[in-house]
Structure 1
């Protein structure tokens, strides 16, 4: 499906509303399907013609995926009509990027209290061992996250946290560890226990949920870290895939070494590596053979990444990529076409400098 869809194809009522069965980008009452593509710099393509998602976002004057934060959307925030409501009522701006995800060990369950606005029962998030559900991850800009904070009543109805329970996997295989999410902040948004158990939204619709009677749970069972202040896109992930001069023992290793904790781990990333002839290689997204390199864990990405961005310069774009095992890490890809640059099938070594 490459044609845009409109909000009326996914009504918002009853809560939590209808969801597209695919990833989408949404703007001005219309949505475009988004599909994974390892040959795109962003890893995704959108809309008619299959534009790179980052190029599509840039065309609207908005930040790329690397400038956005992953927020789990397990309730109405995955509904396109709700996105339009956020625009009209709370001033949401720019395209919304909503990528479908498989959630293991997590479930959307009905909350103990009803919404004051319309009397419907909202969803809340809870640990659910052995359960698998499909939800979405909204890749939000800093401005969009502030709108979501207002919508969710951050600090009153819901708290913004990083969730360490379960596993959230995007359709391209990327595992979003420590995903941001809004979880219950008071008894009204704690899971409703009926006969001692929470009730999954997947098992009971809104009409049935409104009639439920029970008591609020003491806990949602989640392992979370509350977020204080405003998170930034550089917070996640805390890993870097180095394939050129930033690798241990090579020319730029002293630049990154002070930010690295633990031992570098050999790793490989699908792509194509080329010799620029300038003393450093060019990585371009591609399927097929993997580019060898090292996985580095950063003690504080917010400190390290600006330094590395300056070193890499405008020739490279910093993007999030998924290793074959699903680990997400930062890396730097060559912005331009490689033309007739020689291919480096064995990886980058000092002799090429």
Structure 2
């Protein structure tokens, strides 16, 4: 699909509403399909003209993906008409970026209580070993997350947590570890137990769910870390791919070393490395011989990344990239054309006097 779609094609009723069969961006009552492309700086392109998603967002005056946080959408938040409702009723601003995801080890299940707004039964999240479902991940700005907080009744109906149970994989192969999610905060949003077991939303529709009787579960079985205060886009991921002067043993290693925990891990990122002639290399993602470097784990990304941003300066832009094994890392991309710059097929070798 390469044309925009409207909310009418994906009705919100009954809850949780209809979902597009693809990733999308949504603004002003319309959505555009989004497809993965490792050759794009953002890793994604927007139909119909295939523009880089970060460029498309910039044209709307909104932050790039690096300025957004991954939030699991397993209920109505994956429905385009619900996005419009969030705009009209709660003041959501800017494009919503909603990416399809394969979720393993947990499931959307029916909650014990009904919604006060319309009497429908909402979904909640519960551990489900061996279960695989398809849901979505919002890449939300800080302002959009505050709107979601109000919608979900953060601290009252649902709590905001990082989920460590299971695995969330986007359709570009990126593994979103410790994804943000809203899970039940009280009995009414605990899983409804029928005959002692939670009922998956995938197995029972809203009409049947509304009539079910049962009791609230004592818990949801999830391994989570509650989020206190406002999370930052810099919180995730806690890994950094370095390929030039920030590598171990090179001239700028001293800047990043104090923030690193564990041993640097040799790795290779799809793409090409170019010689700028200025004493440091230029990385471009996508096709190429592959870029050798190291994956570093940062003990506290929020402390480390501002220091590294200042060091890299305006010639580089920090983005999230997906390694061949699905791990997501921060790295720095060269922002100018690389025309005329020779490719470095064997990686960067620093020449020191």
- TM-score, length of structure 2 as denominator length: 0.99
Instruction: Provide, for residues 163-215 of structure 1, a one-character-per-residue CA deviation record: whole Å limited to 9, x for no partner.
Output: 00000000000000000000000000000000000000000000010011100
Asked if 2 retains the 8 angstrom alpha-carbon contact of 1:279 and 1:352, the reply is no
Displacement of 1:335 in angstroms is 1.1
Q: Which residue of 2 aligns with 1:173?
A: 173
Partner residue, 1:339: 339
Counterparts of 2:286 and 2:335 in 1: how far apart (Å)? 13
Answer whether contact 2:279 2:351 (CA < 8 A) is retained: no
RMSD (Å) for aligned C-alpha atoms: 0.9
Cα distance in structure 1, aligned partners of 2:318 and 2:326: 18
Residue equivalent to 2:329:
329
Cα distance in 2 for partners of 1:352, 1:106 equals 52
Gaps of 5+ in 2: none
Q: Which residue of 2 aligns with 1:263?
A: 263
- Aligned counterparts of 1:351 and 1:326: Cα–Cα separation in 2: 33
> 1:102 touches 1:134 (CA, 8 Å); kept in 2?
yes
Structure 2 counterpart of 1:91:
91
Report what 2:274 is aligned to: 274
- Classify the secondary structure of the residue corresponding to 2:62: coil
Matches within 5 A, 1:100-139: 100-139=100-139
What is the CA-CA distance between 1:42 and the residue it aligns to? 0.1
What residue in structure 1 maps to residue 301 of structure 2?
A: 301
**Map of 2:44 onto structure 1:** 44
Shift of 1:37: 0.2
Counterpart Cα distance in 2 of 1:292 and 1:207: 54
Q: Separation in 1 of the partners of 2:8 and 2:255? A: 52
Q: Which runs of 4+ in 1 moved over 3 A?
A: none
Residue of structure 1 equivalent to 2:27: 27
- Report whether the alignment pairs 1:69 with 2:77: no
1:139-158 superposed matches below 5 A: 139-158=139-158
Match of 2:98, SS state, is: strand
* Residue in structure 1 matched with residue 213 of structure 2 by the alignment: 213
Q: Counterparts in 2 of 1:311-322, with a 5 A limit?
A: 311-322=311-322
CA displacement at 1:288 relative to structure 2: 4.4
Structure-2 separation of matches of 1:19 and 1:344? 44
- Aligned partners of 1:162, 1:288: CA distance in 2, in Å? 35
Output the CA distance in 2 between the equivalents of 1:110 and 1:287: 44
Whole-angstrom distance in 2 between the partners of 1:85 and 1:57: 21
Conserved? CA contact 1:152–1:158, under 8 Å: yes
2-structure distance, mates of 1:172, 1:265:
23
Structure 1 position 352, deviation (Å)? 8.2
* Cα shift readout 1:306-327 (whole Å, capped 9, x = no counterpart): 0000000111110001111101
For residues 289 and 58 of structure 2, the distance between their equivalents in structure 1, rounded to whole angstroms, comes to 30
2:252: which partner in 1? 252
1:292 CA drift (Å): 0.5
**Does structure 1 conserve the Cα–Cα contact (< 8 Å) formed by 2:160 and 2:227?**
yes
Structure 2 SS opposite 1:351: coil
CA distance in 1, matches of 2:82, 2:273: 42
SS of equivalent residue, structure 1 residue 302 = helix
Distance 1:195 1:208 in 2: 15
State the Cα distance separating 1:67 from its structure 2 match: 0.1
Give distance in 2, aligned partners of 1:297 and 1:2: 38
8 Å contact kept, 1:174–1:326? yes
| Cα distance, 1:126 vs structure 2 | 0.6
TM-score scaled by length of structure 1:
0.99
Aligned to 1:53: 53
Structure 1: gaps of 5 or more residues: none
Q: Which residue of 2 aligns with 1:159?
A: 159
Does structure 1 retain, via aligned residues, the 8 Å contact 2:18–2:79?
yes
> Distance in 2 between the 1:234 and 1:17 partners?
32
